[in-house]
Structure 1
């Protein structure tokens, strides 16, 4: 029945599946639409009829771009916007409100949430279609153009995620004193963060790989059981002393390895809009640049 837990799981799984599909669609569209809009005609020679008419080459190119590409880009933007709205609304009677910067504990700056929003889905689709059409115009072979476009588009998506996006802002560096440390996953206001890296560093900030085996015996002494002549308050006090000694021993073992502190580098979810606008601008700028060699390739076509 709705709201009994299984319905919530079904709703979350459905949203996750649609999110993945939305991320993959630009890659598929680059191959199935971007490449074929020109390459099939060129491969079969039917482009000669169009170029032999009074219509100029530029008009022949831009007509297809406007008629085919623009509706597809708008459709992807609408799909991404609807998906983003669904994630920011209550999706069931037992679901808490989900903020725009996180979704079920995951930062919206991370894959695949970031790529499946309306702005980015539309921008990626525009890039995918222009890239596919350019490769089709250059290679003039549908199968070869599909292969090259698939590899190039996948590389671009990975490049934005791994190399470009972390550089959109200076990451927050949060340091923790030595001890039993964990990476920062939430800000004080329970906002999920995009953790870039976390680990132990020395006094100069260089990463140190801690040898946990060397510190595995800390706190292994006996004495944890309550003694017959010991009150519970005395037992708790002695336990606290054992824990404190264990922490000091573990910290001393860390310092012996040259470790100074534990650092987490992350981007807070509050940067979501800024990152969206930055990546969309970069993606659309790259799409515009690809139009230049596309027009050059159109001029090289022989009617």
Structure 2
């Protein structure tokens, strides 16, 4: 409980300091005020450290807390005494999990939600965290809390079999697999936008006549190509078009009418976050169920 309070207090304090540093630089007219200054580095430095902490600490805390929830009982055989006091194995498991995991899960969920609010509210010149890709995605909303729960569940179940050290190692391995898996899954769970840009308009943009990024600020998982008048993709790899002013003419002669831009817009973030968080929760519940099933072993 003390650790949970310390986690919330330190995270909240860091966010509060960041927010306090923002107003002096967020104004678009601060430089017009005589004697006014804008110190960006303190907020940026603190923000960088905060991101690292919120990325690493939930995973490490999940592995350690999961292992020590049951590891010492396994090592000293104290669970034998506990299970002879008219306490069922499932109840013993459930109470210990709730006492340890629930406060930390709630605290990290609050920090993740507060961090998302700060990112959405702050100036991009001070705090920039793309919501759709790592590391921004990994520290916002419910992602840190649900990752903690998965790692905790894996470590707790493993500690019943392989004691404290085995639980910590299993939790960290589970964290690596989870992060890699969900990173690959992220662009697959939301709808991509396919935008057709007239080839001449795209050429003007790319040569500096106009500048407008497809998908807008915060879009991710971009892919581009070319299409004919019916919107069908055209492979230009075999055209050998020159990289000069005649490039556009070469494309047009090959039947290219539009530039194809495929991307995930930033507006898809809430859906992506909720789907991945739900996926994490399903894994956590499955691991907790596996741990409860382990209690049926007679050597426990």
Corresponding residue for residue 275 of structure 1: 272
Q: Which of 120, 124, 129 is residue 143 of structure 2 equivalent to?
A: 120
> Which residue, 99, 102, 106 being the options, matches 1:70?
102
> For residues 148-174 of structure 1, what are the alpha-carbon distances to aligned partners after superposition, in whole Å with 9 as ceiling and x for unaligned?
3212211112211222x2122220012
Query: Which of 1 and 2 has higher RCO (CA within 8 Å, sep 6+)?
Result: 1
The answer to whether 1:89 aligns with 2:121 is yes
Give the 5 Å matches for 1:124-203.
Answer: 124-137=147-160, 139-163=161-185, 165-178=186-199, 180=203, 185=213, 187=215, 191-201=216-226
Where does residue 45 of structure 2 map in the other structure? 13
Q: Say whether 1:294 aligns with 2:275.
A: no
SS at match of 2:295: helix
Paired residue secondary structure (2:83)? helix
1:23 is aligned to 55
> How much does 1:42 deviate?
0.9
SS at match of 1:110: coil
Query: Which string of whole-angstrom CA distances, capped at 9 and with x for unpartnered residues, describes residues 34-80 of structure 1?
Result: 12211232133333222233211111101111110001101111221
Structure 1 consecutive aligned stretches of length 4 or more whose deviation exceeds 6 Å: 255-260
1:23–1:116 CA contact under 8 A, matched in 2: yes
Residue ranges of structure 1 left out of the alignment (5+ in a row)? 219-245
1:37 aligns with 2:64: no
- CA change 1:146–1:186 in 2 (3 A) is same
Aligned to 2:10: none
Provide the TM-score with structure 2 as the length reference. Answer: 0.72
Shift of 1:6: 6.4
> Counterpart in 1 of 2:30?
none
Q: Are the aligned partners of 1:48 and 1:302 in contact in 2 as well (CA < 8 Å)?
A: no
- Distance in 2, matches of 1:5 and 1:268, equals 35
**Larger Rg: 1 or 2?**
1
Distance 2:142 2:239 in 1: 45
